[in-house]
Amino acid sequence: MKRRDYIIFAVLLGLAIAYPWINPPRYLLASVLLMFCYATVVSQWNLVFGLAGIFSLGQVAIFASGSYITAILGRYLEWSLWYTFPVAGVGGVFFSLLIGLACLRLRGIYVALLTLAVSQMMFILIQTDAMCSALNKKVNPATCVSFTGGAQGLGDFGSFGWRDVFGGRNWIIGDYYTMLVLLVIALIFTFIVTNSRIGLAFMALRDNEELARSRGISQFKYQLLVFAMSAFLTAVAGSFYAAHFGSVGTDLMGFALLLFLISMLVVGGIGRPWGPLLGAFLLMAADEVFKEASDWRNVGLGIVVLIFMVFLPEGLAGALDKLWNRGIQLVTGRLQSGGTRADGE
Amino acid sequence: MDFFVQIIVSGLTFGSMYALAAVGLALVWGAFNMLNMSHGIIMTLGAYFALLWAELLGWPLILAAPFSLVCGGLVGAIVYFLSAHWMIKQKNFEVTIIIATFGLGMAIESGLLKFLREMFRTAPYSQPLSLGAKSFLIFDVPVSYQRLVIWTAAFVLITIVGIFLRRTSVGRAIRATAQDRNAARLMGVPVRRVYVLVLAIASGLAAVSGIMLSSFKDVHPLMGGDPMLKAFIVIVLAGLGNITGALYAALLVGLVEASVKVLLADKYGFTAILILVILALIWKPSGIFGRATVARQ
């Protein structure tokens, strides 16, 4: 991070805070809000994938686990959702630790396949869960669904509660700022982690595992640490998602969302500090564009991902960084040593 | 006894379908470390090619499978030139190619869904190559002729691939590339051509596997996703790039899935093999037939 980055951060934050005051259409506000949510998840994924170099696809499963924990606690125990958020976060951390433990001896591609298997298993277990649960009878005796809601999903578990505070029409602004706060926390968190000794350890293990280990960096400790650290806010983002939409379903674990989120990571730039934000913005924008032709949405997204992987494997943030460096070179007339990639290379 | 026969019969059937898909995946990984996430959609396309040939064009049924094999191979080559060809020099090729083919597969799949919705209105079709329910008995368990055909086809195709790899000069070039890409290039092996060829072979096999699969379920644009995941599980279980291992692992996965389906319930089949692979990976990180060296980088 340089002064440039602080300025960008301040400007973006100002824009985000001001945005609801220009009276944007409601659906746009909802899209931006959703973008904050996804950007939070992707920024945490970036810690695992970009910073620590572990190709885990389990982030979506953790996101889903967070929203399911919130939905279940809110529905069956009738908790206020605000109490469920920390519980969901901690639950996500435990879940992620389990995944991290299972992946401990695996490298590269094997991690991706194992984590994909875990999230797929979660999907199938919930999707095929059709046993009528006694708990659900209490909530709604007429339509009995299973404990996890099965293929139908779960609803009726409450919301952030901004409707009572801001009145009937403006509750979405409450949701918007809540999500923004989460995103800001996530960005600050990733910034702190990236620039701490822990972040250095992640990068050392990523770049040269043998050397890092021979210098006394415990792979066991740091791999579990990165899985745990990245899970908390991911799971909380999941529960915020549930609280905003008022329902959860198995599409949270489906391929479509996985592809969408990984596209954000890739298009933005893996391992780049601004990557997740850029990627989330671009893909949500692309999504808006393709929404006009709803059937072509996934075709378009798939092709965008393919093109980025073929031509810009370092993502947009990587390309912009190169441009920036070249610009500086032109202005100052001297060669900058190295890149401005904040996580080093 | 009935249970037992039932498990063996259905396990071998699933096993041979997975084997056809997995051997191709293993071959491609072995040759140039590419995991093709569009493998599943190629399986689906294979089923559609057969359908197109037999149903819409009305040409002789017996040639539908070879037609689909060839078309599948062509699609494989197209996938290569759309993705891997440009990316093979990238630093993180193993990772980026997964995401790229994932995107490509998604695009084809959604395109196919859209196209079919406009063309045919009704999406699911039954496979014309299916022999229906005609069957014979083994220990009171009905075994359909369909299964016999599947076993034979899988056995013959895999044997052909095996002989091709062992006995021909092109096969030797493929194996040399798999062993050491640079050494092979220095010896004059045109590695790029090997990559295309390998991907084409793998996709052809996947297409046939797709036909087999569609003889049990309807033909549907999304039908390839689930078996592709299982094929991935198979090659991970065997140790990536290990072709013979993939064959055994496919049968193992088929048998485990079948026994869980018969003894417990249908819906736990996939969960059971997922648990199997998770445990196997924790126990032996480079696969049960993998070399003793701990996990590749």
Give the residue from A265, A310, A314 with the most B CB atoms within 10 Å of its CB, the best one to mutate: A310
Q: What is the pLDDT of residues A188-221, one digit of tens each?
A: 999 899 888 888 888 888 888 888 888 888 888 8
Cβ within 8 Å, pair B106-A313: no
Point out the least confidently predicted range of A140-149, A170-179, A282-291, B221-230. Answer: A140-149
Listed by number, the residues of chain A in 54-73 with a beta carbon closer than 8 Å to a beta carbon of chain B are: 55
pLDDT score of A141: 58
pLDDT at A134: 64
Is A211 part of the contact surface with chain B (CB cutoff 8 Å)?
Answer: no
Of these ranges, A104-113, B38-47, B259-268, the one predicted with the greatest mean pLDDT is B38-47
ipTM of predicted complex: 0.80
Confidence of residue A3 (pLDDT cuts 50, 70, 90): confident
Over 60: is that where the pLDDT of B291 sits?
A: no
What pLDDT shows up at residue A344?
41
Q: With pLDDT > 70 as the criterion, what percentage of chain A qualifies?
A: 90
Query: What's the mean pLDDT when you consider all of chain A?
Result: 82
In this prediction, residue B202 carries a pLDDT of: 92
Residue A40's pLDDT band, with cuts at 50, 70 and 90, is: very high
B149 to chain A, closest Cα gap in Å: 30
Predicted confidence at residue A39, as pLDDT, reads 92
d(CA A279, CA A264): 4
pLDDT in the model for residue A44: 92
Q: How confident is the model at residue B228 (pLDDT cuts 50, 70, 90)?
A: confident
Least CB–CB distance from A298: residue in B98, B100, B110: B110
Nearest residue, CB atoms, A303 vs list B86, B107, B117 = B107
What is the spatial distance between Cα A125 and Cα A131, in angstroms, rounded to a whole number? 12
Cβ-nearest to A112 among B98, B275, B296: B98
Query: What percentage of chain B reaches a pLDDT higher than 70?
Result: 89
pLDDT of amino acid B151? 85
Pairwise CB contact (< 8 Å): B107 & A302 = yes
Cβ-defined contact of B103 to A303 (cutoff 8 Å): yes
Interface check for A262 against chain B (CB to CB < 8 A): the answer is yes
Confidence of residue B293 (pLDDT cuts 50, 70, 90): very low
Across the range A113-139, mean pLDDT stands at 75
Please answer yes or no on whether B270 and A297 come within 8 Å at the CB atom: no
Average predicted confidence (pLDDT) for chain B: 81
Inter-chain residue contact B278 with A114, CB threshold 8 Å? yes
Q: What is the pLDDT of residue B203?
A: 93
pLDDT at position A245, please? 85
The residue of chain B nearest to residue A260, with distances taken between CA atoms, is B103
Q: Check B240 against A109: CB less than 8 A apart.
A: yes
| Interchain contact, B267 vs A128, CB within 8 Å | yes
A-chain CB neighbours of B96 within 8 Å are: 266, 309, 313
Domain extents in chain B:
2-283
The nearest CA of chain A is from the CA of B68 a distance in Å of: 24
Distance to chain B for A145, nearest Cα, Å = 17
Which pLDDT band, with edges at 50, 70 and 90, does A177 fall under? confident
pLDDT class for B119, splitting at 50, 70, 90? low
When CB atoms are compared, the residue of A117, A266, A305 closest to B274 is A117
pLDDT over 60 at B122, yes or no? no
Using the predicted structure, report yes or no on whether residue B124 has a pLDDT greater than 70.
no
pLDDT of residue A90: 92
**Is the pLDDT at B44 greater than 50, yes or no?**
yes
Can you give the pLDDT at residue B294?
41
- Most confident by average pLDDT, A122-136, A183-197, A304-318: A183-197
Cβ pair B168, B230 in contact under 8 A:
no
Are residues A299 and B278, on separate chains, in Cβ contact within 8 Å? Answer: no
CB atoms A110 and B281 under 8 Å: yes
Cβ <8 Å between A121 and B270 = yes
A220 touches chain B (CB under 8 A): no
Residue B296: the pLDDT is 41
Cβ within 8 Å of B, A 171-200: none
Q: Which residue has the tokens 């559609």?
A: B48
Q: What pLDDT is recorded for position A342?
A: 45
pLDDT band at A232; cut points 50, 70, 90:
very high
Residue B82 to chain A, least CA–CA distance (Å): 9
